A and B are shown apart, each in its own frame.
Chain A
Amino acid sequence: MKKSTNSLPDQPPRWADQLLEWFVAPHLLEYIQGDLHENFHKRVVKVGIARARREYLWAVFHCLTPFFTKRQTIKSSYSNQPSTVMLSNYLTIAFRNLWRQKAFTAINIVGLSVGLASCLLIVLYVLHELSYDSYHAHADRIYRMTMHARMDEKDINLAYSTGPSGQALLRESSGVEAVTRLRKEGAFLVKHRQDIIKEEKVAFVDSNFFSVFSLPMMKGSPKNALAEPNTLVLTQTTAQKYFGKADPIGQSLTLGNLGLFRVTGVCEDVPSNTHFHYDMFGSFESVKTGDKWLASGAYTYVRLREGHSLTQVETISRGFVSKYIAPEIKEFFGMDFTEFQKKGNRFGFQFQPITDIHLHSDLDDELEANSDAKYVYIFSVIAFFILLLACINFTNLSTAGSASRSKEVGIRKVLGSVRTQLVTQFLTESVLLTFFALVLALVLVFLLLPSFNVLSGKQFTVNDLVNGRLLMGAVVCSLVIGLLAGSYPAFVLASFKPITVLKGKLQIGGRGGWLRNALVTTQFVVSIGMIVATIVANRQIQFMQNKKVGFDREQVLVLHDTHVLEAKADAFKAELAKLSSVVKVASAGFLPAGHTSQSVDGVQIQDGARTATHRTKGYYIDEDYLPTLGIGLAQGRNFSKAFSTENASVLLNEAAVRTYGFKNPIGQQISTVGDGSAGSKRTYTVVGVVKDFHFESMHQHIAPLVIFYGKDNNQLALRIQTNDIPTLLQKIEQQWKATTDNPFAYSFLNERFSKMYQSEQHISQLFAVFAGLAVLIACLGLFGLAAFTTHQRTKEIGVRKVLGASVTGIVTLLLTDYLKLILIATLIASPIAGYTMSQWLRDFAYRIDLPWWAFALAGVLATVVAVLTVSYLAIKAALVNPVKSLKAE
């Protein structure tokens, strides 16, 4: 029935009319619609109802032009005033309003400034990560040549290339402008007069290194400083460390076993955004680099000529394999190149842009552990979310607070304010607020910078913060935030109808209330998600720290660089073993955590007629190693001095036994492939099987391991038993000083173990911090919102109390609204966080199951925090004497 009343037979189509009313500007509507109707009735008489309606529709569509849709703009009678007058008025009013609503202003500013501060810090971090190596002149033309091979069904991806490859490229490719090489030879004990200092960061570079990389020389010639063998360029800081204020040029230093080096130059310290950080650059000629392609290596950097493409250089480098490497294959592997290839083996070179190394390169033997683009993404997303939360807060609070300003808007409109003026007024307020927040944020960043540096492992200074672009960006960003976050409340307020608001009817609620709830829910979704992420990351780290690793990492002291003792090592070990708190001492160049020697060999297994080769990692240990580290035996025996044949004995771990397919491993024979030559091929008998222990990080499954008998004196491991570690260390140091001049360094196995998961710990700490911030901001928002709604319901609460409601009843009533939102937020956040974190956990071979209670805990935490935030207001409102609340207004 309703339909027929809506469209009487001689009426034009209702929906066409509605369409017309919707798009035609109000000041034109009445006349055009009147004319259309009049014409319609005339046409009905002339051509009949059906055609008239069709024509009406057609005519309506014809009105769909900018002329009819454009809304009338009212010009204010004040708009001729110079803009500065109005601006100062806007500012004055804005200040007054902000001052009058101190609590709101404070909540708003604090929330936004916390958001801005964390965002600034993250931007600082992300920009630094992205800036790596881009400061070199022609950085876009510099590439690093890397080597990739597949041997014995295992991929090898090396960050360096073979020694002669760079020079060959320079010779044969016209597109290459310069090639420079770098070699690292590990740490050196550097002797200057009587002092010996261990220097970890020593590199040996070609003489043109300083012309390819923009590392300015302060003293000495950038071109010739490193032309001769045994010359050395120091960084500014290192030069100062050794020579103080004296001129370092011409002075000399002894570098370990490489002999005397003459200092020929001083360069500026390597900038932090470089993929290498060396303190000393020796000349490349000082170290031996073989001229064999397969037995030499150097980090090789190539600068292309301008306008030259990489493709040509890549093509030429592909030719190197058959030209130079194939002849050497025969020499090293004893087989033809074709035969070598038939086994699935291959060689190749690749080129990575130098600016990509820090974030995108994860090859073997990188100069430094690189970062990962993943973290840049994660932190960018976090920064975005935090800022989003803060903006939502801002919008939410301003909209909610606008209720108290509806009367003001009414009066202003009655007195002749036009929409634009009101919008400008409110936007001025919000922009002003953002700028206050920005100032506070900058102060916060300034205060937090040291802790942030610790957390992120960077060295930012205030200079990085205030240098031009970032600050400008922050100001522009605040302006945009102020305008964006302020625009919704501004337009809502400005659209109030004066008559309704002056009558005392609030126009907020309905759609606005829905929006505010959605915004608060979003905030809690983000907060809860981050809480879940924090819990999961923490659990995983705890799991890795506490998992039985197969060795006893407590009370193990490791002495570093004990190879310097040379022949005195055995005597020193014997002395240490005499100490009452030292239980056992072992040579421990190979260790499952921290710095360790590396060894990989092909292992051939003869099991009946079956022969198989496996690339297996190896350990070289002495007879004291297993008891010192507390590694258990599963079968057979440990190495022992009592047997003279130990050099032909070997231990396997359980993973190796499984991989090799031994049913009865003791007594089995295995042989190593070596480098292919007959001399390096040796046969061993398995005498024991050790229980699996984690000799690599938990990202990987425990791999097969072959343990040979040998002494690697690079480090010594001491099983100790004492509560007084300082005294013990003192005693050991005395012993050390009596034996050698070299510096004494030590570490504890459990600390080294924890450090393996440092980057995960960093991530988890950062997550915890940002989750905390997210919760804080969300709570501020909730507090503001609750303050507003409770205020709005003052009368309702009064009436309820008069009718006999209890305080608990009222508090519950006020809380339920928010608890509903948090429940919804938990439901939305759980699957998202669950999925993301299960992806993160996939990186670990040994990982926890996603704990279901993490979601519940996050929800409960959010609820508790929310209840604490809101209940103060709710209880306050519930305790008010109804007489007072009913008298209000």
Chain B
Amino acid sequence: MTDHFMRKTILGELEELVLLVVAACNEDVYGIPVMEELQQQTGRDFTISAVHTTLYRLEEKGFLSSSVGGATAERGGRRKRLFALTAAGGEVLLEIQQTRTRLWQSIPQAKLELMGLSANPF
């Protein structure tokens, strides 16, 4: 239990979102696509610096790994840092998912209906 508890506390909301975006992406994952995807999915504005900071932090925690990717002209010949989900990253996402499911399922159906939330998202 403590293990679960700890892992969840070290993953902030933005971190979780970024981790999910990285997991969902098929192409090269670096700062720009992640930022765009986040903006698209949440409708909120994110700065590149915030995205970078989060990516590096996740890498430090061992949920992401990075490598150096190719450069393009519009980047002024600068290379990209590409990120990929690690096994630990996958596990932590799964755990979060399971925890949420458990919690949702423990809500009594009557209460859900009372709040007008009859549909169980999972």
Contact = CB atoms under 8 A, between A and B. Distances in A.
B48 interface: yes
A59 B53 contact: no
Q: By CB atoms of chain B within 10 A, which of A31, A59, A65 has the most?
A: A31
B5 to A, nearest CB: 26
A67 to B, nearest CB: 5
Interface string A50-94: 000000001100110101100000000000000000000000000
A759 interface: no
Interface stretch (A35-43, A199-207, A262-270): A35-43
Contacts, number: 61
Contacts of A32: 31, 48-49, 52
B61 interface: no
A35 B31 contact: yes
B56 A67 contact: yes
Nearest to B74: A41
B78 A31 contact: yes
A150 to B, nearest CB: 75
A68 B74 contact: no
B75 A37 contact: yes
B56 A36 contact: no
B76 A37 contact: yes
B8 interface: no
A34 interface: yes
B76 to A, nearest CB: 5
A3 B28 CA distance: 36
Contact of B81 (A31, A37, A58, A68): A31
A42 B32 CA distance: 10
B79 A35 contact: no
Contact of B52 (A28, A37, A38, A41): A28
Nearest to B77: A34
Given A31-B79, A31-B81, A34-B75, A65 B53 contact: yes
Given A37-B74, A67-B53, A30 B30 contact: no
B74 A35 contact: no
B72 interface: yes
Interface residues of A, number: 20
Given A59-B49, A67-B53, A68-B49, A39 B78 contact: no
A55 to B, nearest CB: 10
A39 B49 contact: no
Contacts of A36: 48
B37 to A, nearest CB: 13
Contacts of A59: 47-49
A700 to B, nearest CB: 75
B62 to A, nearest CB: 18
Contacts of B50: 62
Nearest to A10: B74
A30 B72 CA distance: 12
A35 B80 CA distance: 7
B47 to A, nearest CB: 4
A37 B32 CA distance: 10
B71 interface: yes
A58 B49 CA distance: 11
Contact of A31 (B30, B47, B74): B30
A59 B52 CA distance: 12
Nearest to B34: A35
A742 interface: no
A62 B49 contact: yes
B65 to A, nearest CB: 15
A65 B80 CA distance: 21
B60 to A, nearest CB: 11
A58 B71 CA distance: 24
Contacts of B32: 35, 38-39, 42
Interface of B: 30-32, 35, 47-50, 52-53, 56, 71-72, 74-76, 78-81
Interface of A: 28, 30-39, 41-42, 58-59, 62-63, 65, 67-68
Given A34-B75, A37-B76, A65-B53, 17 more contacts: A28-B52, A30-B78, A31-B79, A32-B31, A35-B30, A35-B32, A35-B75, A37-B74, A37-B75, A37-B78, A42-B32, A59-B49, A62-B47, A62-B48, A65-B49, A67-B53, A68-B52
